[in-house]
Amino acid sequence: MSEKTFIIAIDGPAASGKGTISRRLAKELKFHHLDTGLTYRGVAKMLLDQNLPLDDVTLAEQAARELDLGTMDGNILSAHDIGNAASKVAVIPSVRKILVDAQRAFSAKTPGSVLDGRDIGTVVCPNADVKIYVTAKAETRAERRFKEAQSKGGTQSYDEVLTDIKARDERDSGRKDSPMRQADDAHLLDTSKMDIETAFTAAKALINAALNTK
Ligand code: C5P
């Protein structure tokens, strides 16, 4: 008989706070954590590094098969250009299928896992024990990204960051396969007026309630 696992699905757009919340939840609960955005970023980076087109299905599939979840480097993959490129390879259904299989395998780890992305509650782990959709107004998210980039010496203006955020939201929620959306049974956490501490506390309360009823 297989051991019971507990799966936490966190979805939402870029800079909503979902990444920080997920990392902290996993750390506190001693669960495994997978930032599924890194898998799409990893595929995009392999193509970019070889100057290959991002819309070549065969090459993108090959990169997806070669991706090793264990060696993805969040620091390198967090680059702005890689994020945009990732949302382009993420529209290819066969690439999604390969990555989703790997993500599902990851979610089976004991004693539990936190997966964050765009389609975890709807497609990757529809039977997750608890689902949270973390969001915030595009302007608020752009402000966060802008400040973060500035502290690292970034040169993009606030308006450029906002335009990028809106374009990425549109591509992610408008694509045919697994668009970004709140699962019917997901809790909504709008962090527009929250700092990260308040957002984390709110998420933790939802998880604790689910853990207590398991
Ligand atoms: O979350 P992050 O910004 O790292 O994701 C990069 C891109 O990867 C997203 O804009 C989205 O297009 C894609 N993605 C996805 N499904 C996921 C996670 C990320 O399509 N579960």
% pLDDT > 70, the chain: 99
Collapse the DSSP code of 135 into the 3-class scheme (helix H, G, I; strand E, B; otherwise coil) and give the result. strand
Question: Does the pLDDT at position 67 exceed 90?
Answer: yes
What CATH number labels 15-208? 3.40.50.300
pLDDT for the residue numbered 131: 98
In this structure, which residue's CA is closest to atom 2 in ligand 1? 37
SS3 labels along 144-208: HHHHHHHHCCCCCCHHHHHHHHHHHHHHHHHCCCCCCCCCCCCEEEECCCCCHHHHHHHHHHHHH
Quote the distance between the C-alpha of residue 109 and its chain's center: 18
Pocket test for ligand 1, best of 34, 36, 116 (most atoms within 8 A of CB): 36
In this structure, which residue's CA is closest to atom 9 in ligand 1? 87
Collapse the DSSP code of 126 into the 3-class scheme (helix H, G, I; strand E, B; otherwise coil) and give the result. coil
Cα(123)–Cα(101) distance, integer angstroms: 11
Pocket test for ligand 1, best of 118, 135, 166, 172 (most atoms within 8 A of CB): 118
Cα(79)–Cα(41) distance, integer angstroms: 9
pLDDT digits (tens, 9 = 90+) for 125-184: 999 999 999 999 999 999 999 999 899 888 899 999 999 999 999 999 999 999 999 999
Average pLDDT over residues 186-214: 96
Average pLDDT over residues 39-64: 98
What's the CA-to-centroid distance between 119 and ligand 1, angstroms? 9
From residue 143, give the alpha-carbon distance in Å to each of 30, 66, 153, 159, 195: 31, 36, 15, 9, 13
